[in-house]
Each structure stands twice: as C-alpha cells, then as structure tokens.
Amino acid sequence: MSPNSLIFLFLLIHIRNMVSPVWNADVPFRFSALTGSCVVVPCHFQYQGDLYLSRGIWSKKTGGVIYHNGRSNILDHFKDRTKIIGNLNEGNCTLEIDKIKPFDNGPFCFQGQIENVRHKFYNSCVFLTMRASPEKPVMTLGLTEVDAGSTTTASCSVTHTCSTHHPQFSWNVAVLTNKVEHTLTARGIWKTTSTISFTVAVGDGPKNLTCTAKFWGNKQQDSTDNLNVKGYVLINFHLISNAFSSLGSLMYQFRRGLLIAVPVFLIVTVLGVVIYKKR
Ligand SMILES: *[C@@H]1O[C@H](CO)[C@@H](O)[C@H](O)[C@H]1NC(C)=O
Ligand SMILES: *[C@@H]1O[C@H](CO)[C@@H](O)[C@H](O)[C@H]1NC(C)=O
C-alpha cells in the first residue's frame, strides 16, 4: 500500500467514527401555507441506539439557518418567526413559521446536532406552497326550511395548516350556542368547525345566513347560504284572506242563487195563482 492510500484509509475510518449514521425523518414533501398567517410543519424521526440530538436546526436547502436555539445563527429574514414546537427528545421536530411571507417557500430541511457534529436526515425537507387567500368556509344548514321564531342549527368549517392558532368564526345572527371542534384531516392539515344554534328572526322568505372565518394573521373569508323562512304572521294573514275569499264566493253564489230563485218563485206563484183562479 502506498502512503497515500494509507492516509486515505485512515481518514475514511476516522470520518466514519465522527459522522453519526443518517436517519430517516418524516416531513411532508409539499405543504400549504397561507401568507401572513402561520404554518406548522409536522416533522418526526425515530431515535436509534443511544444517540440523542443535542440540538435541532432547520435551514434552507440552499444554505442559511432559519431556526436554531441560538438566535444569532438565524437569518435576519426568519428571526423571531420560527420555532421548533415539537419535543426533540420524543423525536418530534415539528416547526412553526409565523407571519409567512410570499417567498418563504424553502425547501427547508431539518438537521440535528449530536455533541457538535451535524447529523443529517433523509426525507427531512419541505417545500411550502403559498396561498394568498384562505379557502371559503363550507356551510351546512341543519334545515333549509325553518319557521320564523324557531331555533335551528348551522355549521361552518375550514381547513388550515396553522394549528397553533386556529381560525375564529363569527356569524350574522345572534348565536345561542357555539361548539368549536378541531379535527386532523390529514397529516398537519386541520379542519376547524363551528356549529351554532340560533333563533330564526320573524319574517318570511329567503334569509341570508353568513359565517366568517378569521384566520391567524387577520385574513378572512366568508360563506353565505339561504334559509327559507316560513313566517307565521304572513301565513295566518294568507289563511284569513283565503277564508274571506271563500266566504265571498259563498255570498256570490248565494246571491246568484237568489237571482234565479226569486224569478222562479214569482213565476211559480203567479202560475199557481192563475191556475187556482181558473178553477
Ligand atoms: C409533535 O408536536 C406537535 C406540537 O407540540 C404536536 O401537535 C404533535 O401532535 C406532535 N406529534 C407527535 C407525533 O407526537
Ligand atoms: C343574499 O346573498 C346573495 C348571494 O350571496 C346576495 O346576492 C343577496 O343580495 C343577499 N341578500 C340579502 C337580502 O342580503
């Protein structure tokens, strides 16, 4: 063996001892984010052996740290906007980025440190796809036809990826009860639902019911549906006028009857008198 290849072999063994094995992380490849809001990127990995991460770092694939527990290491553009909210000791490297800017697409990759050695992961990069406006809430009515003055229900739901600050709902009616639920529909994608009960106002005909979802960062989106209200007052009025009109037609028929009956009565009487007198 030449001295060169001996040195090479020595370095190879030494490097293998220094660099810990590469592990697999589990990060979505693409993930949606709403500009101005926050995004919580799910990230998980499994510890192997007795190696523990002393630090978790998120950086751009092209270089530049976006999260580090030493603030001075973070690019100015990302300072005070990023946080690992997962528990690294449990293999949870979930990242929150707040006040998302239109070009914060990444890809961003998770890395660790063991002692002071960088530890890389496979599948640890996420590409953020930006949405400029939130999606429209989906409204569901308990009943589409309701009586004025009755109590009914409606619900509105939206999906989002900012699970640290769920959207808030408001309605254009006085809400009696409001149940808010957050459910995970896919990895990192949440559905927030507001189910309300309210009293239907007096009136008749279509009424607009509107729910507005206000997302973290203040963007909002609303949805409107039509509630067909059956007003008691107007129905009663209708019944009464119906009754009046049937009474009217009864009178009319009665009068028509009289018009026929009277001449017939007269003719019969006259004829009767004539026949009686002739006898
Ligand atoms: C990781 O941490 C986040 C933030 O605390 C949490 O919402 C999520 O459920 C955790 N994931 C797992 C797999 O434990
Ligand atoms: C009800 O909503 C529809 C569609 O959103 C709109 O065109 C209409 O003007 C609204 N009507 C009232 C009374 O607000």
Residue 23 has what pLDDT?
Answer: 80
Question: Do 89 and 165 share a domain, yes or no?
Answer: no
How many angstroms separate the CA atoms of 228 and 174, rounded? Answer: 18
For residue 256, how far is its CA from the centre of ligand 1 (angstroms)?
Answer: 86
Residue of minimum CA distance from atom 9 in ligand 1:
86
> What digits encode the pLDDT tens for the residues 166-192?
999 999 999 999 999 999 999 999 999
Within-domain flag for 167: yes
Question: Do 58 and 78 share a domain, yes or no?
Answer: yes
Question: Do 146 and 182 share a domain, yes or no?
Answer: yes
Residue 15 has what pLDDT?
Answer: 46
Question: Do 199 and 252 share a domain, yes or no?
Answer: no
Q: Of the ligands numbered here, which is closest to the C-alpha atom of 139?
A: 2
Domain count, the chain: 3
Mutation to probe ligand 1, out of 40, 45, 82, 94 (largest number of atoms < 8 A from CB): 94
Confidence band for 144, pLDDT divided at 50, 70 and 90: confident
Question: Do 114 and 152 share a domain, yes or no?
Answer: no
In angstroms, the first-to-last Cα distance of the chain is 163
How many angstroms separate the CA atoms of 223 and 246, rounded? Answer: 45
Q: Of the ligands numbered here, which is closest to the C-alpha atom of 205?
A: 2
Among 107, 131, 155, the domain boundary falls at: 131
**CA–CA distance from 176 to each of 179, 181, 196 (Å)?**
10, 17, 7
Among 131, 164, 184, the domain boundary falls at: 131
Structure tokens at 113: 């440190």
Question: Do 158 and 242 share a domain, yes or no?
Answer: no
Residue 187: CATH number of its domain = 2.60.40.10
Confidence band for 14, pLDDT divided at 50, 70 and 90: very low
Residue of minimum CA distance from atom 12 in ligand 1:
92
The mean pLDDT of 140-161, rounded to a whole number, is: 93
Question: Do 39 and 65 share a domain, yes or no?
Answer: yes
Within-domain flag for 243: yes
Q: Of the ligands numbered here, which is closest to the C-alpha atom of 227?
A: 2
Question: Do 178 and 279 share a domain, yes or no?
Answer: no
Question: Do 111 and 27 share a domain, yes or no?
Answer: yes
The mean pLDDT of 54-63, rounded to a whole number, is: 91
Q: Which residues line ligand 1 (CB under 6 A)?
A: 44, 85-86, 92, 94
Residue of minimum CA distance from atom 14 in ligand 2:
208
Could you tell me the residue range of the domain that residue 154 belongs to? 138-230
